[in-house]
Amino acid sequence: MIPERISCVVGARPNFMKVAPVHQALARRGLQVRLVHTGQHYDEKMSAVFFEDLGMPRPDAFLGVGSGNHAEQTARVMTGFDSDCEQFRPQLVLVAGDVNSTLACALVAAKRGIAVGHIEAGLRSRDWSMPEEINRIITDGCSDLLLTPSRDGDANLRQEGVPDWRIHFVGNCMIDSLRTHLERALALGTAAALGLSAQGYAVATLHRPSNVDEPPQLARLLAALGAASERLPILFPIHPRTKKRIEDAGLHVAPGITLCEPLGYLQFLGLLAEAKLVLTDSGGIQEETTALGVPCLTLRANTERPVTVSEGSNLLLGTDTATIGPAVEAILAGQGKRGRIPELWDGKAAERVADLVCGGFRTLLDA
């Protein structure tokens, strides 16, 4: 199959960095590419900033699904995207990552007999308490093109019985965006504008339910970050969910921690690149810090991106906040993880995706 009409789906901000280079690579090949924004994560200012930063055109379709619980949100995306497929009649739907929009649009396409390509396929945390793990596994199950960012993704899929003809190791599309835009990001001088010196601060992000939904755990994390901020200032772009949890619980944030609103892609990338270390529970930031060679302390019990630990600069700390202080001290003493850039994180993953699409591929219906 060689498709002429392709729908590329974005739903949440992490999707933008993965889809932008693929959308551009396919458009350069002369294919008819429709950009569909489900609106799962959306506000006018932040959405506009991300699209501008990444050089993406305005979406051809905006479904406007908004927030809601998992069932409501997934259902609204499915209903909206089904109508969009009826109108555009794509021959291939490309979804990225592991958010509810990813799963919803893959299901709609599969039920309509439309080929599905999953950008960032094969990642596994093996933690079924994470909604993202469920989304990843089901999306992979109904995808024709499983586009993996690292070799462990291939191994996971084979272990699950997926035939080799569906698995394609293309590399990490999000790193394409990082490599393309890093120079512009650094030129903004965001750290200096915030009164921070290169290598003289840390960046923190927290948003996962396991870290922010239970006040005792959130309090312990804030206390550990507060202690670390006595050694170097911490910039904390705060997720709206996390901000609300802190306010609802009446928790204190140490003076060494500077809270700010979520940042645009280029601003945040520039801050990551010049940070001494990063503390996070985000999946994508584990990959970005590995590509940048910045020590990353992941505040989770597991990760679906083990290559960032086995090869990169990521250290998985678990959920015991007592591990944070010693890990920070080790980095400040020059003993932080260096790592190396994993295979095919070379800025050309999107071109490999376009090669696969334009070269033709088998589909589940043909098998």
Q: What is the pLDDT of residues 88-131, one digit of tens each?
A: 999 999 999 999 999 999 999 999 999 999 999 999 999 999 99
In a domain, 366, yes or no: no
* Segment (H or E) for 278: strand 277-280
pLDDT band for position 53 (cuts 50, 70, 90): very high
Query: What confidence score (pLDDT) does residue 14 get?
Result: 86
Q: Residue 338: inside a domain, yes or no?
A: no
Domain count of the fold of the chain:
2
CA-based end-to-end distance of the chain? 12
Percent of the chain with pLDDT over 70: 98
Range of lowest pLDDT (10-14, 81-85, 222-226, 246-250): 10-14
Q: Is the pLDDT of residue 164 over 90?
A: yes
Query: Which positions are annotated as active-site residues?
Result: 207
Question: Quick one: 144 and 76 in the same domain?
Answer: yes
Residues 6+ apart with CB under 8 A from 333: none
> What is the Cα–Cα distance from 217 to 91, expressed in whole angstroms?
46
Do 188 and 260 belong to one domain? yes
Give me the CATH number covering residue 25: 3.40.50.2000
Same domain, 36 and 108: yes
124, two tokens: 């596994």
Residue bearing the bigger pLDDT, 284 or 14 = 284
Domain assignment present for residue 176? The answer is: no
Domain shared by 260 and 153, yes or no: no
Summarize the confidence of residues 298-314 as an average pLDDT: 98
**63 in a structural domain:** yes
- DSSP conformation class of 23: H
Residue predicted with more confidence, 65 or 79: 79
On the question of pLDDT at 48 being above 80, the answer is no
367 has pLDDT over 60: yes
Say whether both 135 and 196 belong to one domain. Answer: no
Q: Is the pLDDT of residue 45 over 60?
A: no
In angstroms, rounded to a whole number, what is the distance separating the alpha carbons of residues 231 and 325?
10
Same domain, 87 and 227: no
Euclidean distance between CA atoms 138 and 312, whole angstroms:
28
Rg (CA), the chain: 20
Q: 119: domain range?
A: 5-171+345-359
Buried b (16+ CB within 10 A) or exposed e, 324-350: beebbebbbeeebbebebbebbebbbb
Is residue 364 a part of any domain in this protein?
no
Residue 328 pLDDT > 90: yes
Which residue spans within 17-151 are E strands per DSSP? Answer: 32-37, 61-62, 92-96, 115-119, 145-148
**Are 189 and 261 in the same domain?**
yes
Is it the case that residue 43 has pLDDT exceeding 70? Answer: no
- 221 lies in some domain: yes
Asked if 125 and 302 touch (Cβ cutoff 8 Å), the reply is yes
Same domain, 108 and 81: yes
Shared domain for 318 and 226, answered yes or no, is: yes
Q: Give residue 258's pLDDT band: very low, low, confident or very high (50, 70, 90).
A: very high
The mean pLDDT of the chain is 95
Is residue 67 predicted with pLDDT exceeding 90?
no
- Mean pLDDT within 193-218: 96
Tell me, yes or no, whether 141 and 240 share the same domain. Answer: no
Confidence at residue 68, expressed as pLDDT on a 0 to 100 scale: 86
The reply to whether 39 and 148 lie within a common domain is yes
162: in domain = yes
Domain check: are 92 and 13 in the same one? yes
**Secondary structure letter of residue 194 according to DSSP:** T
Domain assignment present for residue 157? The answer is yes
pLDDT at 46: 59
- pLDDT on residue 338: 86
